[in-house]
A and B are shown apart, each in its own frame.
Chain A
């Protein structure tokens, strides 16, 4: 059975200009111990999906259609109290802004112990601390820094502490939302490698959210490319990265520099994503698409299978 099933998910934000459909008709599944990378530019809905998986949509956001089923539990139909028991226990999160995600006036040790004891009140302080020490060893943080305050940590250490915290209760799913964006490339590389290793070791499912398709291709089994609230291409990581079919994915791949291979000019993607408050007929990418045809603007594109497990939401690929 799949660890996570997302069916026809739609998420809307109530705004002054009407309902903004941040996520529209997204489907994917994740097997236990597998990782899925969600990529796309800012505002494409990837973080919104991550928050919805935690039941943490902001007050003006709600799931308008579809459902999320995690490990047999229907997240999308849960009350706040039920969600609270699932959070961190079954699904934890490594935050986008790890720099500020730790409470500045509480010791790291206390914040870690708290995460454990909220869900396992029967665990004694000593036992919880022992567990935290184990987690510190796991993510390569020195034990003597356990009782520090967050401001005494470097950026990389904070990120490791958050990763350690995310693993505290052996969750089945971890959502990593831009976990390394604020770090320099060397620390980023180390942390990504370690994350991959931890995932293998503990058989955790990971949803990896990033705007950097090359990182995602490196870390994840599967890639889902998102554009304007929709999934536009999905499939095995290598397949999507090296053999991308959707014009948007191709543009994403070529907008990042590579170290190896010949120097090529980076290709920015011209134009802007559409406004998501109204209804959009036809393909959402057509205004920026080099393959745009007259029919693209009129008809909703259909999913095409272009390789084993490799799907594209485009009529012309």
Chain B
């Protein structure tokens, strides 16, 4: 097992190296010149030349590449052109916001999707099943920004129940009297709409995967044996069928955790949620190369690592899988 994990981690490193290289090439090929953005027109030619030398942009491309690799491997991602702050700090500031929103969204939709999927499979062909399946299909196929805007329009603009954008209200956070719970409550209040959007989009896929996986499992002989043993239907479903139906769902959850970080770009932009996804869109549209590079790298790492985690989890869920 340890050997397998090590092997997978080495693979991840190799793939990350390839991604770094592709990113390097992509950003050099992209239209727009970072220097013109950074260099103040009022600077003297000497000053701007000095800045270019300082950034290393005068060096041959191969040297630039090697410096880039060295910096990335030591966790040195440079300074954000826009913020003038270390990229690592910018990301570090935004990452918790993204994690808060998306982990909550994935866990919530996975829990609900899985338990409803179980019920749908158990009541196959009945009204409950039909209702759940249709609901899952409809919400799952909705276009995320459209749904997000629709929710904003109804619940924030028309009904005025929730804030339109943002993550915190200034008056609450600037109030010295406000305690932890007041602030947490304020964040939760801002989270309702983005969370609802993500939940509606995501729970359907878990439901459908769990449902079909459960239906396969329910045909197995060990379910008949469980019934013959005199177990209650509830125990058969939860203790015998569900643990066997987990695998495909775990893949699905793992991958959506990974995708949520970048799929988050849309959600975060619509709701002005100060997270990585919105930062990425911003960085790309403003030629903030260091920030964009680091964000892409972060997303790639998350996707690769969640794949490893899912594979390792398999071994815990199914004793037949051993590495």
Contacts and interface: CB of A to CB of B under 8 A. Distances in A.
Is B a genuine binding partner of A? yes
Interface in B220-240: 220-222, 224-232, 235, 239-240
A151 B227 CA distance: 21
B2 interface: no
B319 A151 contact: yes
Given A103-B240, A104-B320, A87 B225 contact: no
Nearest to A107: B319
Contacts of B244: 103-105
B229 A100 contact: no
Given A84-B230, A118-B231, A149-B319, A102 B224 contact: no
A1 to B, nearest CB: 24
Interface string B224-262: 111111111001000110011000000000000000000
A101 B230 contact: no
A92 B228 contact: yes
A84 B225 contact: no
Given A95-B221, A101-B222, A103-B244, A88 B317 contact: no
B319 A102 contact: no
A114 B228 CA distance: 12
Interface string B204-225: 0000000000000000111011
Contact of A95 (B224, B231, B239, B243): B224
A104 B221 contact: no
Contacts of A118: 229-231, 235
A93 B320 CA distance: 26
Contacts of A88: 228-230
B318 interface: yes
Interface string A74-107: 0000000000111111001101010011111110
Given A95-B221, A151-B319, A105 B243 contact: yes
Interface residues of B, number: 21
A123 B90 CA distance: 59
Contact of A115 (B227, B229, B318): B229
B128 to A, nearest CB: 16
A85 B229 CA distance: 9
Given A84-B232, A85-B230, A151 B224 contact: no
A86 B232 CA distance: 13
Give the secondary structure class of B's interface: helix
A119 B228 CA distance: 12
Q: How large is the interface on A (under 10, 10 to 19, 20 to 34, 35 or more residues)?
A: 20 to 34
A150 to B, nearest CB: 9
A100 B227 contact: no
Given A105-B243, A106-B243, A114 B318 contact: no
A115 B225 CA distance: 10
A143 B281 CA distance: 62
Given A149-B320, A151-B320, A102 B222 contact: yes
Contacts of A151: 319-320
Contacts of A114: 229, 231, 239
B145 to A, nearest CB: 40
A121 to B, nearest CB: 12
B144 to A, nearest CB: 35
B317 A103 contact: no
A276 interface: no
Nearest to B227: A56
B237 to A, nearest CB: 13
A95 B225 contact: yes
A200 B259 CA distance: 63
Contacts of A102: 222, 225
A115 B222 CA distance: 13
Given A104-B320, A105-B317, A105-B319, A87 B229 contact: yes
A54 interface: yes
Contacts of B224: 56, 95, 101
Interface string B281-323: 0000000000000000000000000000000000001111000
B151 to A, nearest CB: 39
A162 to B, nearest CB: 8
Contacts of B227: 56, 87
A170 to B, nearest CB: 14
Given A104-B319, A104-B320, A119 B222 contact: no
A100 B220 contact: yes
A92 B320 CA distance: 28
Given A149-B320, A151-B319, A103 B229 contact: no
A88 to B, nearest CB: 5
Given A104-B244, A105-B243, A105-B244, A97 B221 contact: yes
A162 B230 CA distance: 15
Given A95-B221, A103-B240, A105-B244, A87 B319 contact: no
A162 B231 CA distance: 16
A165 B317 CA distance: 24
Contact of A56 (B228, B231, B320): B228
Nearest to A119: B230
A149 B227 CA distance: 20
B89 to A, nearest CB: 45
B38 to A, nearest CB: 58
Nearest to B222: A103
Contact of A101 (B221, B317, B318): B221
A162 B243 CA distance: 21
Given A88-B230, A105-B319, 12 more contacts: A56-B227, A85-B230, A87-B230, A92-B228, A95-B224, A102-B222, A103-B225, A104-B318, A105-B317, A105-B318, A114-B231, A151-B320
The 6 A-B residue pairs with the shortest CB-CB distance in the complex, in nearest-first order: A87-B230, A149-B319, A100-B221, A103-B222, A101-B221, A97-B221
